[in-house]
Structures are given as C-alpha cells and as structure tokens.
Amino acid sequence: MENREKIYYKRGTEKLKMKNIRAHKLVQEFNSISVESFERKEKIIKELFGTVGENLSIEHNFHCDLGYNIHVGDNFYAGFNCTILDMAEVRIGKNCMIGPNVGIYTAGHSIEPKDRNKSGYAIPIRIGDDVWIGGSCTILPGITIGDNSIVAAGSVVTKDVPANTVVAGNPAKFIKSI
C-alpha cells in the first residue's frame, strides 16, 4: 500500500513561498500560450511536473501548488480548469482522462479554528491506470483510485475506489463493477 502519512507544512515560510512562485510562473506561462504551441506547452509541463509520460494533453486554465509532486503516465489528458493541489505527491497512471473542472486536493487543514490559516497537512493521492474522472469531480486527500475505474461527473471522492469500479455521487458510492 502507498504511503498515506500526513505531511505537515507551515504557510507563509520563505521556502514554500519561493516554491509556489516558481510553480505559479510556469503555470501562468502555460495558461497564456497559444493553443497551437504544443511543444512549448509540453516543455513547460515537463519542467513543472515531477515526471511526465509520453503523449500528454492538458487544456487551458490548469493550476497547481508546487508542480514537482505531480507524476503522470503516458496518454494523460486533463480538461479545462483542472486544479491539482500537490502539497503531497499525486501519482496518475497511464491512459487517464480527467474531465473539465476537476479538483485533486492533497491538502487539508485543522478543524480547530485557531491558526487554521497558518498551517496545513497533505496526504498523497494515487490514481491508477486507465482511469476516467468525469467533469466537476473532487478527489480528497489520501484517496487511491484503482485501475480501470470511472468516477462519474460531479462526484466527491471521500473513500478509496477499488479497481474496475464505477462510483458516483456526493459522497461517491459504488454503482457497479466493470
């Protein structure tokens, strides 16, 4: 089983601020490039992400925290307005499709109100091979989505999704096996 240990961080530190600025500059450049500049877009993503497979496609208005914690396999596709909060590692397998307006969030915060805005935690997320995540889904910290699975549009994934499964709803629940 993958590491699901919480990673704690303090917001506003100089080191974290510099890492965010680096990522945000690359994201800003990526989002401002003309749509037909495929090679330049791929070059930016390879500089931003930790690892990148072959045949990558990410639509306009992509956002992330750090970038280097994101690892994607071959034939990765992300639709418009994809946000990956990668304060912890996000591993996405090969042949994965992510619909528009999807949020993948490793980050969380204390439920205690005192100093909630000064620190946080993150738990790694793993998405297997051949996974399809429909539009407007939310994937919460620490989730594993098994190979070949489908997360139906609009779902909020609060628990792991077994391989070869369709889930839907808020919270996402088992619909059927594939």
Residues 121-166 pLDDT 10s: 999 999 999 999 999 999 999 999 999 999 999 999 999 999 999 9
Active site residue 109: yes
Average pLDDT over residues 16-21: 96
Q: pLDDT at position 2, please? A: 53
> Does residue 107 contact residue 121 with C-beta atoms inside 8 Å?
yes
| Residue with more model confidence, 115 or 3 | 115
* pLDDT over threshold 50, residue 1: no
Q: pLDDT at position 115, please? A: 82
How far lies 48's CA from each of 3, 23, 24, 128, 178, in Å? 23, 6, 9, 21, 34
Catalytic residue among 24, 60, 63, 109: 109
DSSP 72-132: E-TT-EE-TT-EEE-SS-EEE-TT-EE-TT-EEE-EE--SSSTTGGGEEEE--EEE-TT-E
User: Which two structure tokens, joined as six digits, stand for 160?
Assistant: 């792991």
| Residue with more model confidence, 75 or 112 | 75
Q: Which domains does the chain have, with CATH numbers?
A: 7-177 (2.160.10.10)
> Does residue 56 contact residue 41 with C-beta atoms inside 8 Å?
no
Give percent of the chain with pLDDT exceeding 70.
Answer: 98
Determine which of 1-15, 49-63, 72-86 has the lowest per-residue pLDDT on average: 1-15
Determine which of 4-8, 40-44, 79-83, 114-118 has the lowest per-residue pLDDT on average: 114-118
User: Which two structure tokens, joined as six digits, stand for 176?
Assistant: 């059927």
Average pLDDT, the chain: 95
Phi/psi of residue 122, nearest 5 degrees: -140, 145
The upper half-sphere exposure of residue 62, i.e. CA atoms within 13 Å in the direction of its Cβ, equals 30
